[in-house]
Chains A and B, each alone.
Chain A
Amino acid sequence: MAVDFAKRTLENGLDVIVHEDHALPIVAVNIWYHVGSKDERPGRTGFAHLFEHLMFEGSAHHDRGYFPPLQEAGASINGSTNADRTNYWEVVPTQALDLALWMESDRMGWLLPALTQEKFDNQREVVLNERRQNYENRPYGFAQVALARALYPEGHPYRWPTIGEVDDLRAATVAEAHEFFRRYYHPGNASLALAGDVTADEGFALAERYFGGIPRGPHVQRPAIAPVPAAAPARWVLEDRIEYPRVHLAWHSPRLFAEGDAEFDLLGDILANGKTSRLYRTLVHERRIALDVVASQSSREAGGVFQVVSTAAGPESLTAIHDAMCDEISRLSDDGPGEDELARVMVQAEANFVYRIQTIGGFSGKSDQLNAYNVFLGSPGGFDRDLDRYRRATRESVREAARRFLSLPARAALSIVAQGRADLALPGSLPASVQ
């Protein structure tokens, strides 16, 4: 199993990847810029994401909004920003591929003449509303913000949320947007993947035609990120407009594609994902003290975080849930997973590799995966290497990963409780800060 591709790098440094799939007359256009919120600095957080919004507001030769011509051509369109990267994509009928590449290249090469104060102000308001909708006005909405502050020291680029702090967004200026664009939005810091009803020759010719004339930008400096210093585990409490308390236990874990990263995915599945997982069985099915439980390994370029999260079925059970989580984790660290349960989650992991190659575009379709491997591993051909990490996992390697990273109590234990009910948090919790 593999996703076939051809890759070329244009003179100006733009990586171009083509994957042929002629099942339908559609093509996915996917561009990654290797810049995210970890490239921001304190005081100006949220900039990479705000900038993503500005990319949809028109460029020099088409200064009328990005959506209308593409939507009229039958495209679906979106973009997203995270800590490490920003991506943009269109899935277009084959006959609109020229249009999509014209539009993408125009905003890569000629965004700034069209970037006005008025657009900037408007999109800043939109982003503030995105934040209100997804954080302020959402139950448990600040959990990840509080955890990031608990896990990363002052100045660490994973400490702030990608959406940004309100004061920072208000302080941002158009001049800074221009500077940000010049530094990060150029061919040498981008990767273009075309997947679908296009041949490699056509794809490379079109990429050369539309992007070839854009000058190479400055070399992007990526300052080394110091490892997170050891610190004592701590407990935090956040009061929210909610009924049922929730607990998050979080540990630092392997970074993206590092040794143990895949093992942590499997560990999360064994521990808390799905009805056969250990904690679902004990907490939700048998003891019925929890409404839900999930675990996740979120691995990024400069570090990973492993989390186990559960919502209590009643006001009193956070401590019991916490203790059950710790018991299972120490059992896994001591004995490793059972042969049988490891086999089960490995089958699921492998099947998921098959399911995710069903689409050419969108978030996590084939074009997005090719770019992810290209940007993070240096080659689009990472699919098999990635899958192999799961195939090679053993009881011993899973146990070793758990032992290495989970031997201490959670670096951050966050209780989220109803307003005025800090007494329900795990004992010894300090008020968490989110602003």
Chain B
Amino acid sequence: MSVDRSRLPPVGPDRLFHLPRHVKQRLPSGIDAWSVQHHGVPVFAAMLLLPAGSSHDPAGLAGLAATTADLLDEGAGERDALALHDALARLGAHLAIMCTPDATVVGLLTLSRHAEAALRLLGDVCFRPRLAADDFQRVRALRRNRLVQMRDAASATADRVLLARLFAGHPYAHLPIGTEASLDRLRVEDVAAFHAHAYRPEAATLVMVGDRPHAAAIAMAERATEALPAPSRVPPAPRTVAGPVLARPHHAIIVVDRASAQQSELRVGRIGVARDTPDYHRLLVANAVLGGQFTSRINMNLRERRGYTYGARSYFEFRAAPGPFVVQAAVQTDASGAALHEVFAELEGLGGRHPVTPEELELARQGLTRGYARGFETAEQIARAMVQLAQHRLPDDTFDVFIERVRAVDGAQVTEAARQHFVPAEMLSVLVGDQQRVGPALDALKLPWRAMTLDEALGS
């Protein structure tokens, strides 16, 4: 049978697949336990979600949540740090602690047959860490050194400066790691107090994904956490992020000098939306047209048409409170001005003179939905999806309705989303690069730009 090469083979109708179902049960310890059955490879993934993100850092103590998270596995329960990691290793377990602006997630991957023993260790790590003074000193010193190292990384610097300027005065202004000055102020007592407040079983959600039936998984979690302290009567910490009302930034560029750099790290951003926005699906589609996929306008322009960069993209960070919308690219130094010009043109164009075409709309919608099954392949992927539901208190049918909601987005909605969110006049730009060489090109853009040292730019 010969192949017809005059046209691409058609793609058949979408096939149904079953989204993972979860059951929830509150354990005697107060933990909200979720179980998902997932068969195939005999592994067990657990994620414990705590309302302990960097936006909960007290004023002046930026970095407290992340330092606390980092100390969890430096000794817990009956084990010191080395004994704890030895015990994990003997179960073939991987422990991953992640502190984000909104929450801390402690992830565990192990073999199914070791699930219960590993869950006990997870309980110790989260609720019975030693938080010893000596470990605190060591961990803080390592984190402080990492901050110093970040100054040498142009991309990390660009991310940091954009957030600091967009969110000045707001809990999202700092990275979870904090600042040198705030880390210097931290004391181990702060860590203990933060832990006591935020790491309470009744405020935690435990997601478990594995091959056990729900009842068996829940019973196992109950046994593994029975020794935990009883739930406190004080209500759990609020999960919402409060903060001052943020001013819309002015169309301006901040330059952090990196003498003789061969590339400029560019960020163009604005405050976006929270995860609970009713516009979630149309913003995903609008961003897919603009910069969310390889085939998006910004990448096709900057990379495939002009060769300025290895890749350019844009994204919304959907957080508990409105997070950033960011366009990012590393571009060769001599194309810095031209690249910024093109980014602004693409931002402007989608809501204006170059509205989404029917082909682009179809590509964006299908790209987001047809491959949806891929996101639910492994136990860890499923656990991460469940954590999203728990963290943002999303309805149980969030994933079920995703495909139809995305498919329902039309061109007028993309145009409207672009008009609201892709507004060059409200974009703050950050360029980390060779100031001397990019200066003239920035002058030509006729936008106010200012060179700052990193510390000035961070407002520290």
B and A form one assembly: yes
List chain A positions with a Cβ less than 8 A from chain B.
Answer: 21, 23-26, 60-62, 65, 67-69, 71-77, 91-96, 98-99, 102-103, 105-106, 110, 121-130, 132-134, 136-139, 209-210, 213, 241-244, 274-276, 281, 284-285, 288, 291, 311, 313, 343-345, 347-348, 350-352, 354-355, 357-360
Interface presence of B295 (CB below 8 A): yes
CB neighbours of A355 from chain B (8 A): 41, 43, 94, 109
Partner of B371, one of A91, A128, A288: A91
CB neighbours of A210 from chain B (8 A): 3
Q: Are A24 and B17 in contact (CB under 8 A)?
A: yes
Q: B14, B151, B310, B376: which has the most chain A beta carbons within 10 Å?
A: B310
5 interchain residue pairs of minimum CB distance: A74-B370, A351-B92, A125-B307, A95-B12, A74-B371
Closest residue of B by beta carbon distance from A98: B9
How far, in whole Å, are A348 and B293 apart by their CA atoms in the complex? 36
CB neighbours of B39 from chain A (8 A): 23
Q: Are B362 and A72 in contact (CB under 8 A)?
A: yes
16 CB < 8 A contacts A-B: A26-B377, A60-B5, A65-B304, A71-B363, A93-B15, A93-B371, A95-B15, A96-B11, A99-B8, A126-B304, A137-B265, A138-B153, A209-B3, A243-B152, A244-B145, A357-B41
How far, in whole Å, are A275 and B94 apart by their CA atoms in the complex? 12
CB neighbours of B294 from chain A (8 A): 67, 71, 77
Closest residue of A by beta carbon distance from B153: A139
CB neighbours of B332 from chain A (8 A): 125, 128-129, 132
Partner of A358, one of B11, B110, B378: B378
Closest-CB distance, A284 to chain B (whole angstroms)? 8
Q: Are B374 and A72 in contact (CB under 8 A)?
A: no
Interface presence of B309 (CB below 8 A): yes
List chain B positions with a Cβ less than 8 A from chain A.
Answer: 1-3, 5-6, 8-9, 11-17, 39-43, 73, 81-82, 85-86, 89-94, 109-111, 138, 141-142, 145-146, 148-149, 151-154, 261-263, 265, 293-295, 303-310, 330-332, 362-363, 366-367, 369-374, 376-380
Query: Contacts A99-B8, A358-B40, A360-B377; is A129 near B331 (CB within 8 Å)?
Result: yes
Closest residue of B by beta carbon distance from A358: B378
CB neighbours of A23 from chain B (8 A): 39-40, 377
How far, in whole Å, are A102 and B3 apart by their CA atoms in the complex? 8
Partner of B15, one of A94, A130, A139, A291: A94
Closest-CB distance, A299 to chain B (whole angstroms)? 22
Q: Are B11 and A99 in contact (CB under 8 A)?
A: yes
CB neighbours of A123 from chain B (8 A): 307
Closest-CB distance, A340 to chain B (whole angstroms)? 9
Q: Are A25 and B371 in contact (CB under 8 A)?
A: no
Closest residue of A by beta carbon distance from B432: A137
CB neighbours of A65 from chain B (8 A): 295, 304
Q: Are B109 and A91 in contact (CB under 8 A)?
A: no
Q: Are B263 and A25 in contact (CB under 8 A)?
A: no
Closest-CB distance, B385 to chain A (whole angstroms)? 14
CB neighbours of A105 from chain B (8 A): 3
Query: Contacts A99-B8, A213-B2, A359-B378; is A348 near B92 (CB within 8 Å)?
Result: yes
Closest-CB distance, B261 to chain A (whole angstroms)? 6
Closest residue of B by beta carbon distance from A78: B294
Closest-CB distance, B97 to chain A (whole angstroms)? 12
CB neighbours of B303 from chain A (8 A): 126
Closest-CB distance, B84 to chain A (whole angstroms)? 8
Partner of A347, one of B73, B90, B306, B378: B90
CB neighbours of B377 from chain A (8 A): 23-24, 26, 358-360
How far, in whole Å, are A427 and B14 apart by their CA atoms in the complex? 65
How far, in whole Å, are A131 and B309 apart by their CA atoms in the complex? 10
CB neighbours of B145 from chain A (8 A): 244, 291, 313
Q: Are B330 and A93 in contact (CB under 8 A)?
A: no
How far, in whole Å, are A65 and B293 apart by their CA atoms in the complex? 14
Query: Contacts A137-B261, A355-B109; is A129 near B370 (CB within 8 Å)?
Result: no
Q: Are A288 and B141 in contact (CB under 8 A)?
A: yes
CB neighbours of B263 from chain A (8 A): 129, 132-133, 136-137
Q: Are A126 and B12 in contact (CB under 8 A)?
A: no
How far, in whole Å, are A103 and B110 apart by their CA atoms in the complex? 38
Closest residue of B by beta carbon distance from A71: B367
How far, in whole Å, are A242 and B149 apart by their CA atoms in the complex? 7
Closest-CB distance, B328 to chain A (whole angstroms)? 12
How far, in whole Å, are A77 and B295 apart by their CA atoms in the complex? 12
Partner of B89, one of A24, A75, A98, A344: A344
Query: Contacts A24-B17, A93-B373; is A61 near B6 (CB within 8 Å)?
Result: yes
CB neighbours of B110 from chain A (8 A): 351
Closest-CB distance, A420 to chain B (whole angstroms)? 14
Q: Are A72 and B330 in contact (CB under 8 A)?
A: no
Q: B309, B363, B374: which has the most chain A beta carbons within 10 Å?
A: B374
Query: Contacts A77-B294, A358-B379; is A25 near B373 (CB within 8 Å)?
Result: yes
Closest-CB distance, A292 to chain B (whole angstroms)? 8
Closest residue of A by beta carbon distance from B38: A23
CB neighbours of B6 from chain A (8 A): 61
CB neighbours of A359 from chain B (8 A): 377-378
Q: Are A26 and B370 in contact (CB under 8 A)?
A: no
Q: Are A137 and B82 in contact (CB under 8 A)?
A: no
How far, in whole Å, are A276 and B73 apart by their CA atoms in the complex? 12
Q: Are B370 and A93 in contact (CB under 8 A)?
A: yes
Query: Contacts A98-B9, A213-B2; is A126 near B43 (CB within 8 Å)?
Result: no
Query: Contacts A71-B367, A132-B330, A347-B90; is A241 near B3 (CB within 8 Å)?
Result: no
Partner of B262, one of A71, A127, A137, A209: A137
How far, in whole Å, are A65 and B240 apart by their CA atoms in the complex? 44
CB neighbours of A347 from chain B (8 A): 89-92
How far, in whole Å, are A105 and B309 apart by their CA atoms in the complex? 29
Additional A-B contact list (20), CB under 8 Å, known A291-B149, A358-B379 = A24-B17, A25-B15, A25-B16, A65-B295, A72-B11, A72-B363, A72-B370, A77-B294, A93-B370, A95-B15, A127-B310, A130-B310, A137-B154, A137-B263, A139-B153, A288-B141, A313-B141, A313-B145, A345-B89, A351-B92
CB neighbours of A275 from chain B (8 A): 73, 81-82, 85
Closest-CB distance, B49 to chain A (whole angstroms)? 22
Query: Contacts A23-B377, A129-B332; is A354 near B367 (CB within 8 Å)?
Result: no
CB neighbours of A358 from chain B (8 A): 40-41, 43, 377-380
Q: Are B378 and A93 in contact (CB under 8 A)?
A: no
CB neighbours of B11 from chain A (8 A): 72-73, 93, 95-96, 98-99
